[in-house]
Chain A
Amino acid sequence: MIAPKTKRPRPLSPNIQNYRPQLTSVLSIVNRITGVALSGAAVVLVVWLLAGASGPQAYAVVQGAIASWIGQIALFGCTFALFQHLCGGIRHLVWDTVHGYELRSIYLSGWAVVAASVVLTIAVWSTALFMGG
């Protein structure tokens, strides 16, 4: 008889160490990562609003941090995270209506999310740079 204490921990699913990454699983974890990243972006949004409410000096400090190269990289990352989570979220909302569950549809919508996130991020940054420049 095996005592309960010596019982090996049973494998939990999904066990990402043992599975080959696929578009479906990669998009699933990316959606979660971008969601967590956007939580950080939401904190920056509040800091930006508070600085704006306190006056031009505080606002200039926050704007300066965002305008720095590290700030611009973070802002670019946040733009992509926003569009990825938005497009991925819309994909989830469509699934919630019990549509698009065929394997073909799942891969089609998955690649559509990847393409839309990249295109929208580039479109926003080109428009902003064009308007700023």
Chain B
Amino acid sequence: MDREQQGSRVDHRDMRSSSVRAQGLGSAKGGAEHWWAERVSAVALVPLTLWFVASMIALTDSDHAGFIAWLSSPLATIMMILLLIASFHHTALGLQVVIEDYIHSGAKFAAVIAVRLGCFALASAGVVATLRIAMGG
């Protein structure tokens, strides 16, 4: 009787205890997507960062005109925009994990939101700057 009553109310696929479920603790079930997005951006960043390092070596001691000439080439423009998107996406995902590991107060949510918004703003600023240079100011 007692077990029957419980069985009607408790979803047995949910492995959490009653008290934890009541407190809203446990998995948010978004872990797999976060993990996958981190890997996809990581794979993209392998060629993008190697291109970036090679470009920085080639650009050593170059002046503003040289910098503009380099970044206005279509390949460099596209690669820089992809680098900005991939790296800030990866940064937002990575910093979120670091925050969740070390901050256990309410500041955790504020920090995650700040990181998300900051990464979005910085990526946008970088893309706009790159496009301005590509379009000739």
Give residues in A with beta carbon < 8 Å to B.
Answer: 32, 35-36, 38-39, 42-43, 45-46, 49-50, 52-53, 55-56, 59-60, 79, 82, 86, 89-90, 92-93, 96, 124, 127-128, 131-132
Contacts and interface: CB of A to CB of B under 8 A. Distances in A.
A89 B44 CA distance: 12
A121 B122 CA distance: 26
Contact of B98 (A32, A42, A92, A132): A32
Interface residues of B, number: 37
Contacts of B117: none
A93 to B, nearest CB: 6
A128 B60 contact: yes
Contacts of A56: 63-65
Given A32-B98, A53-B132, A128-B57, A42 B68 contact: no
Interface of B: 39, 42-43, 45-46, 49-50, 53, 56-58, 60-61, 63-65, 67-68, 71, 80, 84, 87-88, 91, 94-95, 98, 122-123, 125-126, 128-130, 132-133, 137
Contacts of B65: 56
A46 B39 contact: no
Contact of B91 (A32, A38, A55, A128): A38
B61 A59 contact: no
Contact of A39 (B91, B123, B132): B91
Given A42-B122, A43-B122, A53-B129, A82 B53 contact: yes
Contact of B133 (A45, A53, A79, A82): A53
B94 A59 contact: no
Nearest to A46: B126
Given A32-B98, A38-B91, A93-B42, A46 B122 contact: yes
A124 B53 contact: yes
A132 B125 contact: no
